[in-house]
Amino acid sequence: MSTSKNAKVGLFFGSFNPVHIGHLIIANYMATQTDLKEVWLVVSPQNPLKSKQSLARDQDRLHLVRIAIDDNLKLRASDIEFSLLQPSYTIDTLTYLRERHPEKQFVLIMGGDNLPTLNKWKNYELILRDFELYVYNRPGYALGELENHPQVRVFDKVPQMQISASYIRESIANGLPIQYLVTDPVLKYLESSGLYKNNRKKE
């Protein structure tokens, strides 16, 4: 059984709408400075707690993640949730991936701002029972009572940038530059595709 669980894979869920360097810095840190073998960026088609109004098409967001990490062998884009029932819930995705890849040990990566509200997630008890959580501490957020849970590992030194995808979308819609906020391949695709250009500040 020990050999079947050798490959420890981190799952970094998100809308990635669009993916930006803040996402990539966190994913790369987890992939290179922890015991994870690799990190999968799982593009979510619909977050049950968020409106779908501002989401770009699933395939566009997936493509942006793929071209953003194309040169990093320890990062991978995953569209696994596209084929699952929507809205997508983390426990369902985790369970499906474990059944599909019994040779891998999946770890859930999340920000410290999400840990205190984990008890609002579907079947959160099963997540804590069956999966490790790698939590990157976010300044200004208390981790809550789950901080010392045996399945939770907190990382305090993960570099973070105050960049939001909504800021990037608003900047594009208003014709403002987003250079350095996204990778060059993502920037070129956004410019050539016109993605988010018709977005308006309605969120």
Indicate the burial class of 82 (C-beta count within 10 angstroms; 0-12, 13-18, 19 or more).
middle
Per the CB < 8 A criterion, the answer to whether 15 and 49 are in contact is no
* Residue 177 in this model has a pLDDT that exceeds 60: yes
Q: What is the torsion angle, in degrees rounded to the nearest 10, for the CA atoms of residue 138, residue 139, residue 142 and residue 148?
A: 60
| pLDDT at 203 (0 to 100) | 38
pLDDT in tens, 30-85: 999 999 999 999 999 965 556 666 789 999 999 999 999 999 999 999 999 999 98
Q: How far is CA 88 from CA 15, 47, 85, 161, 203, in A?
A: 11, 6, 6, 27, 21
Residue, of 132 and 199, whose pLDDT is higher: 132
Residue 179 pLDDT greater than 70, yes or no: yes
With b for 16 or more beta-carbon neighbours within 10 A and e for fewer, the 25-36 pattern comes to: ebbbbbbeebeb
Q: What is the pLDDT of residues 105-141, one digit of tens each?
A: 999 999 999 999 999 999 999 999 999 999 999 988 9
Average pLDDT of the residues in 15-24: 97
| Extended strands (E) in the chain | 7-14, 38-43, 75-78, 104-111, 132-136, 152-155
The per-residue pLDDT of the chain, averaged, comes to 92
